Structures are given as C-alpha cells and as structure tokens.
Amino acid sequence: MQAPTVGFIYPDHAAEDDYPHAAAALGVALPVAHIYGTDLHAVPELLDLGSPDKLRHGAELLAPHRPAAVVWACTSGSFVYGPRGAREQVRALAEVAGVPASSTSLAFVEAARALDVRTVAIAASYPDAVARLFVEFLADAGIEVVSMSSAGIDTAAEVGTLDSDAVLRLARTNDHPDAAALLIPDTAMHTLAVLPELETALGKPVLTANQVTIWEGLRLADTDPTATTLGTLFSERRTHVGP
C-alpha cells in the first residue's frame, strides 16, 4: 500500500531542500508549498507570516496533491501566537485544508513526548526576545528548558546559509549536561543531512525543526516510516502520542 502524501506550508525559501532529502530517505511524498512575507525574526512580522490568510493560501496550493495531513513548517511563526493561539492557528488550518493539521512548534512538543523527553537545551538561531517565547511555549507543555542560547540572527535567509560545520558548532557549544535532548528550532536551518553527526557528537537525541515537522505530518497521516539517517526520532516505530 502506498504511503499517504503529507503537505507542508513553508515560509519563503531557505532550507526547503530538507524535505526532498527526507522524502527519499523515508519513501514518502512530502510536497512543499511556499508562502511569502518578510523573513525578519521579529514578532509583528512573524504574526503576519502565520496569519490565517497566508496559511489558507498555502493550503490551497497543496490541495492538488491531495495530502492526508498538512503542517505549517515554521516554528517562530507558530509559537509567537502563544500556546492557545498556536492551537487555534492549526485548528483553522485543518478546517480550510479539510485534513488534520499541525505546526512545527506543536511538533516539537509531540516529538519530545514521544521520546519521553522532559528536560531540553535550546540552540536557537533567533534573537533572544523571540527565542524566549519558545521557552515559554515549551514550559506550558510541561517541558523544562535547562539552557537556552540565541545566535541573534535576524533573518531566515541568513540562517539558511549556515553550513554543516556551523550547525555542528551551534549544537556542541549550546548543549547542557542536564538536558535529555537538544532542540534546534528553525525550519530555515539545514539540519537533516547532519543529524547523525549531531547525535553522535552530543550522545543524546537532537530534535530539529524540519525533522519534527516531517515526523508530525506523518504521525497525523497515521504512517510511521523509519530512517536511521534522520535521528533517534525516526530510528524506530513508536506509539503515537496525541490526536
């Protein structure tokens, strides 16, 4: 039986090539639709980027693919709405898409629960004020952030230029011994190709934005493929958590 298609709404252009990389590794179809806005990591711009009209347009672009689930592939453009607002955001997206929906911020919560991770370190690319909103979002879900660093990068386009060595340095220098996992929360960052190196270097699970986004979409579509190259989260079939 062919695996269902999962669609992703991705802001602008930065690290969208992580999605065909994962599709090849997992043997699934993961089409990406792009929506556009200012890629500045600042609250007003992020609120606009994740607005209902923009996400509705993304869902319309994905409709010809007949996805079984749709995910808003943006961390900051979801957690900036707060826990309640992020849930309302995906409720509205599911309504217009006609299929289950989620976002990268909610995917981080579900992935942490699936791995039974309760303490995390965050290696964020965002400015500090934006990164702290993610800390608050996780705390609301019962996930303790024992360490948070912010690289202070203002735009998604700049994050997309970071190479594998830069991502590895970011992870190594911002882990914490009390963290059960390291979280890297920006879908603009290329991380999938370097995930095995990240987890080997840290000796613990590493959850990255595009990784958890893809996992969440497949979870919602009730499919559970594995790939040893995509980190602990995809290393074995797990009991699904949540709806």
DSSP string, the chain: -PPPPEEEEEESSSSTTHHHHHHHHHT----EEEE----B-SHHHHHHHT-HHHHHHHHHHHGGG--SEEEE--SHHHHTTHHHHHHHHHHHHHHHHTS-EEEHHHHHHHHHHHTT--EEEEEE-S-HHHHHHHHHHHHHTT-EEEEEEE----BHHHHTT--HHHHHHHHHHH--TT-SEEEE--TTS--GGGHHHHHHHHTS-EEEHHHHHHHHHHHHTT-----GGG-GGGSS-------
pTM of model > 0.85: yes
Q: What is the predicted pLDDT for the residue at 67?
A: 98
Q: Which tokens hold the place of 10?
A: 């991705």
Q: How far apart are CA 192 and CA 206, in angstroms?
A: 11
Q: What does each of the 243 residues of the chain score in pLDDT, given as a tens digit?
A: 577 899 999 999 999 999 999 999 999 999 999 999 877 788 888 999 999 999 999 999 999 999 999 999 999 999 999 999 999 999 999 999 999 999 999 999 999 999 999 999 999 988 899 999 999 999 999 999 999 988 888 777 788 788 889 899 999 999 999 999 999 999 999 999 999 999 999 999 999 999 999 999 999 999 989 998 999 999 966 544 444
Predicted local distance difference test score (pLDDT) of residue 238: 58
Note whether 234 and 226 are within 8 A (CB): yes
What domains are there in the chain, each with its CATH number?
6-107+210-234 (3.40.50.12500), 117-207 (3.40.50.12500)
| Secondary structure (H, E, C), 50-71 | CCHHHHHHHHHHHHHHCCCEEE
Q: Can you read off the two tokens belonging to residue 159? A: 């994050």
